[in-house]
């Protein structure tokens, strides 16, 4: 099963229609945001370097617009329309492909408000998977409290054929860091948020006698390497280092799908004087944490849609790096990540 998780930066119905720059659209990557996204998740031949000819089974949309702010409430038509339009575009591609039309068809899971005008969207292959009754939720801690700002969203996926449990998928959009560069305690808010993920019942069951598979994914707005210093309780002289995922990884045995420090958050400009992804990315915010999947993971990585924009005519990277990055910002300020098992 292949899952792609993508922060799409406040994606709404208007944004789907936004046109891309001429350099990118003429090279075959899509005329607008909707067609660009569809080509990526449906493994269009122009994205063979990263998608390997296999469409997604699950597409997770982080930072999806909705009306409302009451956590756990039903989402507005903005969110449902975006998911339905994307699912329809994906289904149109699958229907035209002889290999795929009998094995790929997409539906949108029911979403829930997770924060102020925001939710997480999930589109899944309903030929393979199903969402059971009461299979979606805006998550609370075991103490019964939503997480601050944007609480995680959970969808449970079952195998369509047998009804057997397949995966609890948890989508996360952590609070943003404050300041920039070496600002002291810059990552305190997202780190404190991520430390609370271990207080979710769906995470804690991962250490039970018969754990069910869980994957926690999204934009964590910090990396496993982020930290801040805090004085020990009752000791104002001794500081300890606070990291975001120690509890998730150590106590509950979740592992990261993407290597620590792998850049995913976009820079505003293309810097040809730097090397590798640092030319167009600045931070390592997006990842997938998987529990009870560790032995089954076949592959996982960042889908680098900048460096791999090489199959169109003309080739865009690196010669048209500036135009490519400028166009990509119309889609997102994050690169997607994937896990396959």
Cα dihedral value 76, 78, 80, 85, nearest 10 = 170
Sequence ranges of the domains in the chain: 2-340
Taking the C-alpha atoms of residue 96 and residue 158, their distance in angstroms, rounded to an integer, is: 27
DSSP state of 268: S
Across the range 77-100, mean pLDDT stands at 97
Specify which residues 256 forms β-bridges with: 289
Mean pLDDT, the chain, integer: 94
CA distances from 297 to 48, 98, 223 (A): 20, 28, 21
pLDDT, tens digit (0-9, with 9 covering 90-100), for 254-295: 999 899 999 999 999 999 999 999 999 999 999 999 976 666
Contacts of 127 (CB under 8 A, 6+ apart): 102, 103, 104, 105, 160
Across the range 36-51, mean pLDDT stands at 95
**Superfamily of domain 2-340 in the CATH hierarchy:** Endonuclease/exonuclease/phosphatase (3.60.10.10)
Global pTM reads: 0.95
Q: Which helix (H) or strand (E) holds 8?
A: strand 2-11
The answer to whether residue 333 scores a pLDDT higher than 70 is yes
Contacts of 177 (CB under 8 A, 6+ apart): 186, 187, 189, 190, 221, 222
């Amino acid at each position: 099963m292949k899952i792609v998780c993508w922060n799409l930066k406040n994606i709404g119905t208007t944004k789907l229609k936004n046109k891309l720059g001429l350099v990118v659209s003429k090279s075959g990557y899509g005329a607008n945001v909707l067609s660009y996204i569809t080509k990526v998740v449906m493994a269009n031949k122009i994205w063979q370097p990263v998608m390997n000819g296999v469409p997604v089974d699950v597409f997770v949309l982080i930072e999806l617009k909705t009306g409302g702010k009451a956590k756990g409430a039903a989402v507005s038509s903005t969110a449902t329309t975006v998911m339905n339009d994307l699912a329809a575009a994906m289904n149109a591609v699958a229907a035209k492909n002889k290999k795929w039309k009998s094995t790929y068809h997409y539906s949108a899971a029911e979403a829930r408000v997770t924060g102020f005008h925001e939710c997480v969207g999930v589109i899944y292959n309903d030929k393979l998977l199903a969402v059971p009754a009461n299979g979606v939720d805006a998550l609370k801690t075991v103490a019964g409290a939503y997480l601050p700002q944007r609480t995680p969203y959970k969808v449970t996926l079952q195998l369509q054929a047998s009804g057997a449990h397949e995966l609890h998928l948890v989508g996360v959009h952590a609070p943003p860091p404050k300041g920039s560069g070496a600002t002291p305690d810059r990552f305190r808010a997202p780190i404190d948020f991520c430390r609370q993920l271990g207080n979710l019942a769906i995470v804690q069951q991962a250490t039970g006698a018969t754990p069910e598979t869980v994957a926690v994914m999204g934009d964590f707005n910090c990396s496993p390497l982020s930290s801040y210093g805090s004085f020990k309780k009752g000791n104002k002289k001794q500081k300890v280092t606070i990291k975001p995922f120690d509890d998730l990884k150590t106590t509950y045995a979740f592992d990261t799908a993407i290597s620590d420090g792998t850049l995913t958050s976009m820079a505003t400009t293309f810097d040809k004087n730097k090397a590798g992804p640092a030319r167009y990315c600045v931070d390592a915010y997006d990842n997938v944490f998987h529990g009870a999947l560790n032995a089954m993971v076949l592959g996982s990585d960042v889908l680098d849609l900048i460096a791999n924009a090489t199959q169109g005519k003309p080739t865009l990277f690196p010669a048209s790096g500036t135009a490519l990055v400028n166009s990509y910002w119309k889609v997102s300020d994050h690169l997607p990540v994937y896990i396959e098992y």
